[in-house]
Structure 1
Amino acid sequence: MKTHVKALVVGGGAVGTGIAYHLARAGWSDVMLLERDELTSGSTWHAAGLLPLFNMSYATSHIHDYSVKFYKTLEEETGLNAGFSVVGNLRMAQTDARMDEYRLYASTAETVGIPYEWLTSAEIKDRWPLVRTEDLKGAIFHPTDGYINPADVTMAMAKGARQRGVLIERKWQVDGYHWTGDHWDVTVTKMVEKGGNLVPSDEQTVIHAEHVVTATGNHAQRTAKLLGIKIPAIPVEHQYIVTEPDPALVEWRKDHPEHPVLRDADAKWYVREERGGWILGPYERGAPARFLYDVPESFRADLFPLDLERIEEEYMSMIHRLPSSETVGLKDDYNGPICYTPDGNPLVGPAPGLRNMWLAEGFSFGITAAGGTGYYLAQMMVEGEAEIDMASLDPKRYGAWMTTEYAARKNEECYEHVFVLHHPDEEREACRPLRTGPVYDRQKALGAQFGCVNAFERPNYYGPLDAPDSFDHDARSFRRGDWWQYAKAEAEAIRKDVGLIDATAFTKHLVRGPGATGFLDKFTCNKLPKVGRINLTYALTDAGTTRTEYTIVRLGEDEYYLVSAGAWTAYDADYLMKSAEDFMGAGGGYVDIHDVTTQWGVFAIAGPKSRDVLREIVKDADPATVLGNKRFPWLSMRDIELGMCPVRAIRVAYTGELGWELHHPIEMQTYLWDLLLEAGEKHGMKLVGARAQNWLRQEKSYRAFGNELGRDATPLEADLPRFIDLSKEFHGKAALEATGVRSKCVTLLIDGPQDADPWGREALYDGDTKVGRLTSGGYSVHFGKSIGMGYVSPVLAVPGTKLKVRMLNELWDAEIVEDSPYDPKNEVIRKDA
């Protein structure tokens, strides 16, 4: 066995072989893959091999699209037939809401370039008369996908990898990882057959690898223990059954092509043909998580007992949809482990806290994702960044708060929700509430309807208290749901009077020490603020794209308070820590960094009357002037006292109104909350949630990380040159300048339907030509119409340009407007006392 390699891939399923293949194709000639058993012996062997393109995630859609196209090329390259049956995928709908889901998805598919067709129930019946259609509203059809043989495609990728120089070693188990400072020493043990089990032998060796990729599937918890990290990838039972031949199907196939993969999403199953019969794969309630801590050594290419009672409802609904299947017997059954994550997206990218350790874990659709994961992960490893933003799949989207119990329960919920309507405003219930601020119960009593960000509860909006029985707080919609009227009233309150927002979920870091100024100056692209002032700035990737957005508050000459997005705490912390280590390792001064997110609460008060509310409770020798422009100018920080609460007040407002962020000791939060509500009552202060805030920030063209800001666009492409100081040196500067402006971020006002607003996933058109996509969407209370932000070519990024946006399968008029269409000169936000 070779003991020195550039990259070691651990795991020989479809995902692992796809990664090894693409690393070699990307130019790394010294790659090895290890498999503890035989290739495909994990979940790959019992997978149904479906290749669904349907996905609400932009990044995952790209991954799946690449896989489907790539698998069609493997036979020409390797001589092995991957067993790809391009029969298409028919996703049926029983309700209007389901059709709305498909319409929203279809616009996302257009931004990726995935083809689709619409079919009525009559057209379905005409093409496939065995399908009962009288209770269907219609369907979306993908003609380019279908299903594939998982073992065949894995072996084809393995052969392609070998042809490119990859070494594949079977029956070797990883038993230890040790980082030496410039490479990994990986201890591996030879596995041998004994009594039908696979057990470790006495033969061990150490492999020296510059990079390691783990694609260990069901064994992810063992991998996590060996690495000393948390990986929320835990398998859930998935069962499917194979029927005996259906005489009606056999007769139909004598002179007709194979049925597409059928998905009755409202019945929670997929069905495809198999040797004259049918395969039924349900996603039922009650499927349990397995292997929460480790996979037993006795479990190899094994299955669990079938639980037919658990899938009885789905089985009966298959008979309803395919009446000819009622008299057909069962031939085979499978119930095996399939890995999930709490949000259903895989974990792809650098491991938290570790160098040159890459994770590719938690694939619930591993066959569909294997090729694309290999392609984009190889780009990240070889080139430093992928061509698409992979942040939504980053393993560090879950922090240290994540536990085994949380992952298991959320993964079970995720399995159950595979075919549950994926509303853009959905809020799943499992494991909630988990992380709450001290005022959670007070907010709940006042009608707060919570969203969950990084497992932290924050109000999305405040519903009615006077008639709770007549209002469905759990109602979701692809259009303007029941919540819309309350978010609108909250947004109007901030524009006209004053509102209070709980922003405690913000990520907060304290950076200090003799090297802090030098480090942050190179780490971020904007000038550092003076003491007592703040600046908005960006940390860039190696490719010059946006890695993180920070509000930097300078507390002292070498002391800084960094505020970033609440959903990305561990993600930001990891990059900040590693970058500081690199800075100090290169001879920079000492930098001390602390994550203080849970030590500080944040309330944002905003609106024309926000100063009036604060004057009621501020303690100062001259309350009339303490909040004025002379003593407290825009974009500055002051330590003030509100009643008995010391507050780090920052004069900035994400809503674009006169306002302050009130950062306070978390243990004083309930006191400050009560104080603010009492002071605000006489000024008509309204409690405001995240949805209204999201609308308002778009009126100011404030970019959001994960939407307009990401690793696929530079800050120049986000049209933020005012936050870039090209006179200094900073990480990613050369790449930023070399990239130029490939596309540009714009704000659009949209004359859309009367009952819907864009969600930020829609395609943009110039006539019949697709020219871009939205990254955010909502409603503008100031302009009285829909609003959105997105990217188009620089030629089109001019105020006054007329475009179209795809919403609910129709094209609606949209116009690019000037940046910050509300208060473009910032006169409101700078207003003096």
Structure 2
Amino acid sequence: MTKTLPEQSQIVIIGGGVIGCSVAYHLTKRGCKDVVLLERSQLTCGTTWHAAGLIGQMRATNNMTQLAKYTAELYAGLEEETGQATGFQQTGSMFVTANTDRLEEIKRTASMATVFGIESHMISPSEIKDLWPLLATEDLIGGLFLPTDGKANPVDITLALARGARSRGANIIEGVGVTDILKEGGRVTGVVTDQGRINAEIVINCGGMWGHQLGRKAGVNVPLHAAEHFYIVTDPMEGLAANAPVVRDPDAYAYYKEDAGKLLLGCFEPIAKPWGMDGIPERFSFDQLPDDWDHFEPVLELALKRLPALETAGIQLFFNGPESFTPDDRYLLGEAPELKNFFVAAGFNSVGIQSAGGAGRVLADWVLDGYPPMDLWDVDIRRMMPFQTNRKYLRDRTVESLGLLYAMHWPFRQVESARGVRKSPLHSSLNDAGACFGELAGWERPNWYAPEGVEAKYEYSYGRQNWFEHSAAEHKAVREKVGLFDQTSFAKFELQGRDATRVLNQICANDIDVDISRVVYTQWLNHHGGIEADLTVTRLATDHYLIVTSGTSQVRDFSWLKRNIPEDAHAIATDMTSAYAVLGIMGPNSRALLASLTPDDMSNEAFPFGTSAVIDLGYARVRASRITYVGELGWELYIPMEFVQDVYDVIVEEGKNHGLMHAGYHALNSLRMEKAYRHWGHDITDEDSPLESGLGFAVKMDKPGGFIGRDALLAQKEKGLNRRLVLLKLDDSDPLLYHNEPVYRNGMMVGHITSAMYGHTLKASLGFAYVDCPDGDTTAACILSADYEIEIAGERFSASPSLQPLYDPKMLKVKS
């Protein structure tokens, strides 16, 4: 029966897969009844219908794991709530391996599971055999069992979510295609369909594979690309238990799932096959792609060794269906920075079924409350750069991204595809200097430098990798002499206008109404007191400011700035990232080096810490800002792109007389850890306040006019804290910390490592952790008097706590 389209709806959801139906379900669960979901064909017809239906819960971060846990809990009760069968079974899942490096990864995963509240057990080959008698285990050396994982029927799950949404008032209409997105004044106003127009206050793009195309219609960047995804289903297999756990054998790129007595064997092969380069056909519905046995054969050969019973099992189905993948294998969620009230939930990288419940819940909260309910930076659409909508880039990255799901998750692992997108003008010079480049937000950045005779290439391991000693030398040069960092990837914004000071002082927690040429370190807070951004603001003139932030948060921070400028304010924000290169000249010899190159006075009296001035350098005029992220005397030089090569050449030539050494981002990280400088996105997020993270010194509670988040901070201060950010130093100099390792205080788990690096000056691994203080005693005496241990791959190591930087705590070197 054809439904009549409403002329108006508060919320329109585009796409009737499991994600769209989950969003509708959770919106109505919050009491929102004015919801229309439009599906161009039938529910589940795109990707959902052919999903494998694996329900795993472990993710790379705590919040993502909590969302996956919620999904499993939701599915467990969905049939009882709606009357629609879901096929959900809590069979458990297990990872198996014959590889010693993979076993280390699995052990670290087990430690992370402890942090995230997921039951897990390291298991031996004999225990693997007990759980899955059909597996060949002779070569296995161990595995990990997660008993609360499971499986479900994707179509039934979706229909149950749709039924729950309908029962609370949602209008789900099939057979209606969206042909355009309506917008006015930077805000979405509705959709145009092949059957008419619907005006709406909010539009949500849950278009799956079509999400990229829908985004382009709205002028919104939705970077995802379809790839062919393969699995086979056998005839009924003797000896295959109905309650058999899902098996993941990542070294063989394969997963195994019992399915009504049959075996489903799927894969995430290292080199994938992108699909739909010219766009996804609108009529593609319950379709599959042509078989490609040649492509699947290497996976099948490995599977035959792991599961010999496959040799005699008949193959009932060879399936090839497309699924969408994002450039970093994390899905896209949230309000688009380009268009107000246009939300996205797409690009689920083959984990849509196991992510749908949690993603639908938090997006519903975001839509109705106007802000995310938790730190969702891992999947926030604002992490994506504008260039990433480029179709060739997406195609080339997808070749690799599918396989990364089962690749080794090495520390410091760098993507290999679609590289070289954004380069500093100095790229060739840095390459000649031995740079080994990593990638961040498309930027090619020197992570470390290979000495003469050493290949600038990563050799990955969980131990000290091949660059460790070379980065240590860079670290030492910065501490003892002077280092050169290419920091061009910084995002740089300018705010100008007669109301610029008033506007920016409302956004900043610190006071930026300072003298011209002063640099202010500050946070931008949300209304809950959480840290939205961590950056510096330099006053260039009475009505002109320079804002510098991380390259990863360029889109997010610029969007936050623009959206917090009142409509009647005379203040204009401009993204100047591509206009300036940045060189960091850091170390005790930095003053002598720069002073030998400029007639301007670089002395401490004329150029104290926290000041900025335009100086002559080479043939250029350069903005020198005396600020540091490494804890040494130093300057950041902001240079117009066309002048940077000359400035660099002059510095490098003169630097020979001052012990100058090129230094990369691994050294930057080890240096900042020793100085206890926080890293936004890890140590500080939109869930963490400056009071909890030890950044209260950068907050001016009593500045005229207040600031966003002030009331929340005052309330927190009055109530008292229940946790604090602590810097921990391993007492043993050998183990390496990375992140998410459990932290124990007097034998009780109280937190986990948020970021870590080896401190070469201190000769030990360092890590930040928020330490819970349930008794409310957050005094230094209480925190520092306890015994701390950090668990690494199942083994605990003692650690010493500090609330102060372990290097130069009084800032004597920085301010000298």
| TM norm structure 1 | 0.93
C-alpha distance in structure 2 between counterparts of 1:575 and 1:167, whole Å: 33
Instruction: Return the letter of the residue paired with 1:355.
Output: K
Matches within 5 A, 1:332-347: 332-347=317-332
Q: Indicate if the aligned counterparts of 2:253 and 2:270 stay in contact, CA closer than 8 A.
A: no
In the TM superposition, what is the alpha-carbon distance from 1:102 to its structure 2 partner? 1.6
Task: State the 1:391 CA deviation.
Answer: 1.5
Q: Which residue of 2 aligns with 1:196?
A: none
- 1:705 paired to 2:672: no
| Residue 558 (1) aligns with residue 535 (2) | no
Q: CA offset at residue 536 of structure 1?
A: 0.8
Give CA-to-partner distance per residue, 1:752-786, whole Å, 9 cap, x none.
461x3211222212244221111110111232211
For residues 375 and 113 of structure 2, the distance between their equivalents in structure 1, rounded to whole angstroms, comes to 16
User: Is 1:532 aligned to residue 517 of structure 2?
Assistant: yes
| Residue among 377, 380, 404 paired with 1:394 | 380
Partner residue of 1:509?
Answer: 493
1:240/1:333 contact within 8 Å kept: yes
For residue 181 of structure 1, report the CA deviation from its aligned partner: 5.2
Name 1:815's counterpart in structure 2. Answer: 800
Give the drift of 1:739. Answer: 4.6
Displacement of 1:603: 0.8
User: Is 2:238 the counterpart of 1:262?
Assistant: no
Q: Does 1:660 align with 2:660?
A: no
One-letter identity of the residue aligned with 1:603: L
Query: Contact between 1:385 and 1:541, CA under 8 Å: does it hold in 2?
Result: no
Shift of 1:10: 1.3
Letter in 1 for 2:648: W
| Matching residue's letter, 2:745 | D
Q: Secondary structure at the match of 2:361?
A: helix
Q: Which residue of 1 aligns with 2:130?
A: 126
Q: Does 1:109 align with 2:113?
A: yes
Paired residues for 1:564-575 under 5 Å:
564-575=549-560
CA contact (8 A) 1:269 1:280 kept: yes
Given that 1:546 and 1:714 are in contact with CA atoms closer than 8 Å, whether structure 2 keeps it comes out as yes
Alpha-carbon spacing, 1:59–1:235, altered in 2? closer, same or farther (3 Å):
farther
CA distance, structure 2, for counterparts of residue 264 and residue 712 of structure 1: 35
State the partner residue of 1:379: 365
Q: Whole-Å Cα distance in 2 between the matches of residues 106 and 672 of structure 1?
A: 50
| 2: CA distance, partners of 1:390 / 1:759 | 21
Cα drift, residue 81 of structure 1: 2.5
Match of 2:71 among 67, 74, 88: 67
Cα drift, residue 110 of structure 1: 2.5
1:612 to 592, 595, 611: 592
Aligned partner of 1:599 in structure 2 is 579
- Whole-Å separation in 1 of the counterparts to 2:6 and 2:475: 63
Question: Is it true that 1:489 corresponds to 2:473 in the alignment?
Answer: yes
1:391 is paired with a residue whose SS is coil
- Whether the aligned pair in 2 keeps the contact of 1:179 and 1:185 (CA below 8 Å) is yes
CA pair 173-772 structure 1, distance change in 2 beyond 3 A = same
Q: Partner letter of residue 336 of structure 2?
A: A
Quick one: distance in 2 between partners of 1:721 and 1:22?
A: 37
Question: 1:567, 1:687 → 2: CA distance?
Answer: 23
What is the match of residue 99 of structure 1?
103
Correspondence 1:791-810 to 2 at 5 A: 791-794=770-773, 795=777, 798-810=783-795
Secondary structure of 1:478's aligned partner: coil
Quickly say closer, same or farther: Cα 1:173–1:260, change in 2 above 3 A: same
Residue 741 of structure 2 corresponds to residue 762 of structure 1: yes
Deviation (angstroms), 1:301: 1.1
Local SS of the residue matching 2:630: coil
Q: Kindly report which structure 2 residues correspond to 1:333-482, keeping only aligned pairs within 5 A, or say none.
A: 333-364=318-349, 365-402=351-388, 403-468=390-455, 473-482=457-466
Q: Do 2:181 and 2:192's aligned partners in 1 also have CA atoms closer than 8 Å?
A: no
For 2:343 and 2:764, the matched residues in 1 are separated by 45
Aligned to 1:638: 613
The amino acid across from 1:236 in the alignment is: A
In the aligned structure 2, how far is the partner of 1:753 from the partner of 1:120?
Answer: 30
Q: Which amino acid aligns with 1:628?
A: S
- How is 1:16-31 mapped onto 2 (pairs within 5 angstroms)? 16-31=20-35
Q: 1:8 to 1:631 in 2, by over 3 A?
A: same
Check conservation: 2:226, 2:325, Cα contact below 8 A: yes
In 2, Cα distance between the equivalents of 1:504 and 1:241?
A: 48
Letter in 2 for 1:501: F
Q: Distance in 1 between matches of 2:260 and 2:79?
A: 23
1:184 deviates by 3.9
Match of 1:523 among 488, 501, 507: 507
Instruction: Give the letter aligned to residue 702 of structure 2.
Output: S
Shift of 1:737: 3.1
Distance in 2 (CA, whole Å) between partners of 1:184 and 1:427 is: 37
Deviates more, 1:58-67 or 1:712-721: 58-67
Q: Relative to structure 2, which stretch is displaced further, 74-83 or 551-560?
A: 74-83
Structure 1 residue 723 corresponds to structure 2 residue 698: yes
Amino acid paired to 2:471: A
Name the residue aligned to 2:285. 300
Q: Could you tell me how far 1:279 is from its partner in structure 2? A: 0.8
Partner of 1:192: none
Aligned residue for 2:203, secondary structure, equals strand
Aligned to 1:543, the other structure's residue is in SS state coil
What secondary structure, in the 3-state scheme, does the structure 2 residue paired with 1:333 have? strand
How big is the shift at 1:670? 1.5
User: What code does the residue aligned with 1:736 have?
Assistant: L
TM-score of the pair, normalised by structure 2: 0.95
Q: Map 1:33-44 to 2 at 5 A.
A: 33-44=37-48
Would the aligned equivalents of 2:43 and 2:174 in 1 still touch at CA under 8 Å? yes
The verdict on how the C-alpha distance between 1:59 and 1:163 changes in structure 2, with shifts beyond 3 A counting, is same
**Residue 225 of structure 2 corresponds to residue 224 of structure 1:** no
Native 8 Å contact 2:618 2:646 kept in 1:
no
Question: Is residue 541 of structure 1 aligned with residue 536 of structure 2?
Answer: no
Asked if the contact 1:425/1:477 (under 8 Å) is kept, the reply is no
**SS of equivalent to 2:301:** helix
Which runs of 5 or more structure 2 residues have no equivalent in the other structure? none
The answer to whether the 8 A contact 1:555-1:561 is kept is: yes
Q: Match for 2:715: what amino acid?
A: A
Mark the CA change 1:184 to 1:224 in structure 2 (over 3 Å): closer, same or farther. Answer: closer
> What secondary structure does 2:429 align onto?
helix
Q: Could you tell me which amino acid in structure 1 is paired with residue 60 of structure 2? A: M
Aligned pairs, number: 798
CA drift of 1:183 comes to: 6.7
CA distance in 1, matches of 2:551, 2:767: 22
Task: Give the superposed CA RMSD.
Answer: 1.8
- Give the Cα separation in 2 of the matches to 1:591 and 1:82: 53
For residues 555-575 of structure 1, what are the alpha-carbon distances to aligned partners after superposition, in whole Å with 9 as ceiling and x for unaligned?
111100100001111222222
CA contact (8 A) 2:188 2:339 kept: no
Secondary structure, counterpart of 2:621 in structure 1: strand
Q: Tell me the distance in 2 between the aligned counterparts of 1:93 and 1:310.
A: 23
Query: Do residues 627 (structure 1) and 602 (structure 2) align?
Result: yes
Return the offset for 1:136: 1.4
Cα distance in 1 between the residues matched to 2:280 and 2:364 = 28
The one of 733, 755, 776 aligned to 2:755: 776
- 2:730 maps to 1:737: no
Counterpart in 1 of 2:813?
Answer: 828
Cross-structure match for 1:195? none
Partner of 2:307: 322
CA distance in 2, matches of 1:298, 1:180: 30
Query: How far, CA to CA, are the matches of 1:62 and 1:768 in structure 2?
Result: 24
Greater shift, 795-804 or 561-570, is seen at 795-804
Question: How far 1:222 sits from its partner (Å)?
Answer: 2.1
Aligned counterparts of 1:342 and 1:674: Cα–Cα separation in 2 = 35
